[in-house]
Structure 1
Amino acid sequence: MVRLLAALASTAVILLCDASPAPSTHAVHEKRDVTHSRWMKRDRIDPTIKLPMRVGLSQSNLDRGMDYVMDVSHPASPNYGKHWTAKQVADAFAPSEETVESVRNWLVSSGISRDRIAHSDNQGWFAFNASVHEVEDLLQTQYHRYEDSETGHSVPACEVYHVPKTVQRHVDYITPGVGLRAPNRPAHGKSKRMKRDGSARHDPIKMAKMPVRVDYGNVSTCDVAITPACIRALYNVPLPPKTAQPGNSIGIFEDGDFYTQEDLNLFFANFTPYIPQGTHPTLDSIDGAVAPVPVTEAGGESDLDFELSFPIVYPTNVTLFQTDDINYSNGNLSTVGIYNDWLDAIDGSYCNYTAFGETGNDPVLDPTYPDPLPGGYKGQLECGVYQPTNVLSASYSSQEYDKPEYYQRRQCNEFMKLALQGHSIFFSSGDTGVAGRPANPRPNGCLGSDNTIFNPRYPDSCPYITVVGATKVYPGKTVFDPESAANDPAGQPYSSAYSTGGGFSNIYSPPPWQQSAISTYFTDHNPPYPYYSGNDSLGANGGLYNRSGRGYPDVSANGDNIAVYVGGQPGLSGGTSASTPIFASIVTRINNERLAAGKGPVGFISPVLYAHPEVLNDIKNGSNPGCNTDGFQAVEGWDPLTGLGTPNYEKMLDLFLSLP
């Protein structure tokens, strides 16, 4: 396919198809209603040109994924904790034999001989080469050429195509099809390693000067600076055990941001003397990624993640999933996708996994390897080279609005499969309240023609991950007082405003384990804003949020005034980038105790926590403003800014040790 795309690109045109009459035995399978102005329609193309066709086969049992997860994750299930193997997952969702044979028979009966059809190793798709004439007959369509005025590149696509009605339910998608996706164009000129653009990866790290000298064991100044001692006091976390259970680890995802050992050593020396100098994460380098870096290139995100996780889990292992080579990390090759390279590396089947009209990495959104630029990673995309850890923590995200829905749904399915296999996956809820990150044409990060509609986060809306919001010990309060939702006006203490993210998805509905909590929230604490129902009605009747969406976050933890060392200097940092590794590390500690008791890891924890919110500290004060509103309010029970609340280690440990 790559060679053909290159050949088409050399003509600076794209193939595209018009609608043509189809027999009554066929149905429209995909249709593109709008063509972006960047694409210019050209002539019909030579019918003898060969196209690399790929037919994605409908997977089995995807509609049962939620039930499967509930079966192994809900505390009332007799199968709680009986997590699946990777083979069980692959077998459960592979296309059925009926699907494979139905699609193959259709192709063969249409003139595509069996010896021309390749079936992928993961059984997810058929591939074959066919002339334009053959494809037009096969799909009851016509191909034309379109030119991409922005990049000069070209890709196959079509406006509409048909398949037999008897086959339609067995076909996920066909490509070249309706998609108009131009390859990325390299942007040259940078040589020094820099952090990848935070606007596309994670909320800009918030940093402020350390206002006072903080003693590592003193919890009387936790309203000024949160140290490891403050976290232990807030959440009843004892000092780490002397021994770590084999195979237990917390995995930290990083992309375009790098830790430095000098900062970790300074932090350990000043705040956790029980951690030896030189302690560092185990590096799982993905696609040429490098870490650590010199102290002059220290990344605030990475330093923060490890300075929070090590004090809680030591001597348990911390694994660093550092993703992408220097050119993609520093922006020399521009991409806006995220997580696919990481998911490829920890699940080899994902590299060629077909779902929602896409197979493998997106040719536009994701990095492509081998990297053509000097100094880039010259190997092939890494698939299945690492094992996923029991707990996975990621403080990087963007907005649902900024990624195609097919891209998000494909990743969410992978998170579902990881949950089935017993992995706990945590993501941060964002730092801009009910808004997204400010960006042109959304200066306040909000949606709609008047920039007033709340902007939900991605991948936070995926129901199979546990999303973590942020709390704060406000001035004059102690670690023994209830916390409040994190909300800082600009300059107090960070240069930009910060409020914990939360809201409702425009893509996903509330999962079963969350439905009661959301219903109670709307009944007892109805937000004072108009709403709409469903993504298709975005902003209808002046609505500001989707009343029928999956709510987030699920839980929260402290994420403000965190004592850190970055670039060799002490300071304060804040954001849900802090709360996420805190909560994930506490779950890692619980896993250590379960393993010591001869039990397995807790796996996907959200169903247990929604069934037992009493093991969390309910947060009842604060708001998360954005989009020219006060946002949502923290209330009794679940709310869309602090979730169910912050961890109480002792109560959580007792609960999870009582489960099979």
Structure 2
Amino acid sequence: MRRLFQILALCSIALAAPSQRANHVLHEWRAAEPVGWVKSRRAEVEGIIPLRIGMKQQNIHMLEDLIMDVSHPDSPSYGQHWTPERVVDFFAPSESTVSAIRRWLAVAGFAEDQLRLSPNKGWIELNATVAEAEWLLDTEYHVYEHPSGEKQLGCHSYSVPEHISEHVEIIRPTVHFNSLVPEDPTRLHKRANPNHLGQPSSIYGPKTNGVKVETKPSLANCDQFITPDCLRALYNFHYTPKATAKNSYGIVEFTPQAFLAPDLDLFFQNFSSTQVGQRPILVSIDGGVVQTIAQSFSFNGESDLDLEYAMALTNPQPITLLQTGDLVEGAGFDNWLDAVDGSFCTFEGGDDPTQDGIYPDPLAGGFNQSESCGIIKPPFVVSVSYGQDEGTATHRYATRQCNEYGKLGLLGTTVLYSSGDNGVAGFGGVCQNSSGLDDPGGGLNEIRFNPGFPGSCSYVVSVGATQINSGASVNDPESACERIIFSGGGFSDIFPMPSYQEAVVTNFLKEHPPPYSAAQFNNSGKARGFPDLSANGANYVIAIDGLFELVFGTSASSPVVGSMITMINDARLAVGKRPVGFINPAIYSPKFAHAFNDITTGNNPGCTTDGFTAVKGWDPVTGVGTPKFDKLLPLFLGLP
């Protein structure tokens, strides 16, 4: 029967196709295939594709104004965050959009019972054969392969009828290209260079110089060994939480990245003795597990780092571990967003087979239950120490996901992302050529800077990295991190400058114009600049695989800043106020300027340049600077 239906459906599409295809317009495309991937063959025409059509949302143009209304310190509505129901209703696509897309699919031969409208009306889902999808979207699907053996299905571009284009934001799977590849968990230890989106070794992640720590760290040698006490001294971060039962702090990790319990205890024995035996609260998303099969820096470094410092700095605040993806398939950013916001499932960028884990997982040993959709209330603070190059995401995909972070801000959640570890370059030092294509080498005039995402999204807090200079103390000014890693920063090629940073970014470009042309970075003066702020990212002492080791990265900076915001939320909750939510409008406002240590030395080199320079005021290396917790706390506590 299925075969008969496919034949009938294809005939129906073929009959309808001439009038539709004649007026198709290009909707989304890739400039080139990502480095290392090659098109190997056409996809099997009878293969099934889970098509997801993301519909144009209503009122999305109002999102920035709405989030400013509840987040700007001068707003009379500060802290009056929205309910999930209000967010869904306000941004749901119009009935005319839903009807237009349904009619298009009906004419193309898809029966009504093949279509499913997501609960918030954001997506229309249908399963189609490759042949059906190719006719519908006027495209060709191919199998792409990587030298590592990974494969994925995708197309180079796709089109939709002109009268439908205004109703469609994005269709998946199509051109988006961050592959998540099924793995046999028994072979994890053989994987020397994981390529999952969630793997810190393939994106930002902490780096190590291989030094094993044998000296007893103290405040006297924080320039060589960063510990929780060093961070408390650096940022006057002294606070004992009072409202832990009301508060929440989430750390996102992507399986197979996982902490080791003995590592936590080893760290606590040395730096927070009352916490020996404590563990984060595990929330398993799409079969996420704290695996112990593979033990190495690549598999344990990020999670050990994040949890050791987040738990120590907020003790006794319970930490929620959002462990995302099963051992077989893995996961991407959209999977953890699904879990904290049920309206995001198959909506606003959710569930893309080329980006995310798709559940139930049909592979042997995979998570065979429904996707984890809305299984936990969004924590008040979420820190994510992962990212990707902005150039690997299409504008439509990045914009749609970015808007979801804005909606979390409306709900009262602070989302922090690491800004990157390669200065103005992308992961692995890869830059772009003048056409915006990945280019691992070339001359100065041929290389374009490669900003990171989601750190470039206007609705997340992008966190850069600083360092204590050699021979300096915790009382001396820090500089931009130039040890092992370079603080990621620059200007987005996708997102416009948000209103909250117009004054400081415009001032930077006027008073300290970078010595680079428009061919090297988006110097229009209208682009989102990042990072927003910074914290130390060098010489962290972590317990890893039974030893103490030094690590470096903005992936260390993000959970530290998240810990400070969590304690500020505690103080507000303790007196009956709400969490701070999206903090960028506040930290960029003049009244908060004195609450940051301005970083004025250092660069973030990359792409055969010195990158940008840390200067007085905001800069695309360290943002507005590093927090002075003792100044930030009363400022936020004084807001409604």
TM-score after normalising by structure 1: 0.81
Equivalent in 495, 513, 516 of residue 526 of structure 1: 513
Check conservation: 1:439, 1:445, Cα contact below 8 A.
no
Equivalent in 166, 170, 174 of residue 169 of structure 1: 166
Equivalent in 310, 316, 333 of residue 339 of structure 1: 333
Q: What is the CA distance between 1:142 and its match in structure 2? A: 9.6
* Secondary structure of the corresponding residue to residue 191 of structure 1: helix
Q: 1:170 to 1:618 in 2, by over 3 A?
A: same
Check conservation: 1:60, 1:95, Cα contact below 8 A.
yes
Of all paired residues, the percent bearing the same amino acid is 39
User: 2-side partners of 1:373 and 1:181: how far apart?
Assistant: 21
Check conservation: 1:422, 1:602, Cα contact below 8 A.
yes
Q: 1:367 to 1:619 in 2, by over 3 A?
A: same
Q: Does 1:222 align with 2:212?
A: no
Check conservation: 2:70, 2:410, Cα contact below 8 A.
yes
Equivalent in 65, 68, 78 of residue 70 of structure 1: 68
Alignment of 1:490-529 (within 5 A): 497-529=484-516
Equivalent in 185, 197, 208 of residue 206 of structure 1: 208
Alignment correspondent of 1:191: 187
Q: 1:91 to 1:499 in 2, by over 3 A?
A: same
User: 2-side partners of 1:17 and 1:433: how far apart?
Assistant: 53
Q: What is the CA distance between 1:519 and its match in structure 2? A: 0.4
Alignment correspondent of 1:485: 480
Equivalent in 622, 627, 630 of residue 650 of structure 1: 630
How many positions carry a matched residue from both structures? 609
User: 1-side partners of 2:222 and 2:50: how far apart?
Assistant: 61
Higher alpha-carbon deviation: 122-131 or 316-325 = 122-131
- Cα distance per residue 1:619-639 (max 9 Å; x no partner): 111111111211111111000
* Secondary structure of the corresponding residue to residue 551 of structure 1: strand
Pair member with larger Rg? 1
User: 2-side partners of 1:7 and 1:152: how far apart?
Assistant: 25
Equivalent in 394, 407, 422 of residue 432 of structure 1: 422
AA in 2 matched with 1:169: E
Check conservation: 1:18, 1:144, Cα contact below 8 A.
no
AA in 2 matched with 1:324: G
- Cα distance per residue 1:237-278 (max 9 Å; x no partner): 11534x4432312111111321112111111111223x3310
AA in 1 matched with 2:93: P
- Cα distance per residue 1:172-196 (max 9 Å; x no partner): 45689x8698997756696245684
* Secondary structure of the corresponding residue to residue 592 of structure 1: helix
Alignment of 1:359-370 (within 5 A): 360-370=350-360
Q: What is the CA distance between 1:644 and its match in structure 2? A: 0.3
Alignment of 1:241-640 (within 5 A): 241=241, 243-255=242-254, 256-273=256-273, 275-291=274-290, 293=292, 296-297=295-296, 299-329=300-330, 338-353=332-347, 360-438=350-428, 450=443, 452-488=447-483, 497-530=484-517, 532=518, 539=519, 543-547=520-524, 548-611=526-589, 612-640=592-620
User: 2-side partners of 1:328 and 1:593: how far apart?
Assistant: 40
Q: What is the CA distance between 1:392 and its match in structure 2? A: 0.3
Q: 1:142 to 1:120 in 2, by over 3 A?
A: closer
User: 2-side partners of 1:16 and 1:251: how far apart?
Assistant: 50
Q: 1:50 to 1:314 in 2, by over 3 A?
A: closer
Q: 1:519 to 1:271 in 2, by over 3 A?
A: same
Q: 1:448 to 1:461 in 2, by over 3 A?
A: farther
Q: What is the CA distance between 1:27 and its match in structure 2? A: 7.2
User: 1-side partners of 2:50 and 2:294: how far apart?
Assistant: 48
Q: 1:601 to 1:206 in 2, by over 3 A?
A: same
Q: What is the CA distance between 1:390 and its match in structure 2? A: 0.5
Q: What is the CA distance between 1:327 and its match in structure 2? A: 2.3
Q: What is the CA distance between 1:556 and its match in structure 2? A: 0.5
* Secondary structure of the corresponding residue to residue 548 of structure 2: strand
- Cα distance per residue 1:222-244 (max 9 Å; x no partner): 11211211111111111534x44
Check conservation: 1:57, 1:124, Cα contact below 8 A.
yes
RMSD: 4.2
Higher alpha-carbon deviation: 401-410 or 341-350 = 401-410
Check conservation: 1:425, 1:604, Cα contact below 8 A.
yes
Q: What is the CA distance between 1:406 and its match in structure 2? A: 2.8
* Secondary structure of the corresponding residue to residue 166 of structure 2: helix
Higher alpha-carbon deviation: 204-213 or 471-480 = 204-213
User: 1-side partners of 2:214 and 2:49: how far apart?
Assistant: 67
Q: What is the CA distance between 1:20 and its match in structure 2? A: 5.3
Alignment correspondent of 1:494: none
Check conservation: 1:18, 1:143, Cα contact below 8 A.
no
User: 1-side partners of 2:453 and 2:429: how far apart?
Assistant: 16
AA in 2 matched with 1:200: S
Check conservation: 2:535, 2:558, Cα contact below 8 A.
yes
User: 1-side partners of 2:154 and 2:606: how far apart?
Assistant: 39
Alignment correspondent of 1:87: 85
- Cα distance per residue 1:265-294 (max 9 Å; x no partner): 111111223x33101111111122222638
Q: What is the CA distance between 1:83 and its match in structure 2? A: 0.4
Q: What is the CA distance between 1:168 and its match in structure 2? A: 5.2
Check conservation: 2:387, 2:453, Cα contact below 8 A.
yes
AA in 1 matched with 2:337: L
Check conservation: 2:253, 2:321, Cα contact below 8 A.
yes
User: 2-side partners of 1:102 and 1:280: how far apart?
Assistant: 51
* Secondary structure of the corresponding residue to residue 345 of structure 2: helix
Q: 1:35 to 1:199 in 2, by over 3 A?
A: closer
Q: What is the CA distance between 1:643 and its match in structure 2? A: 0.5
Q: What is the CA distance between 1:50 and its match in structure 2? A: 12
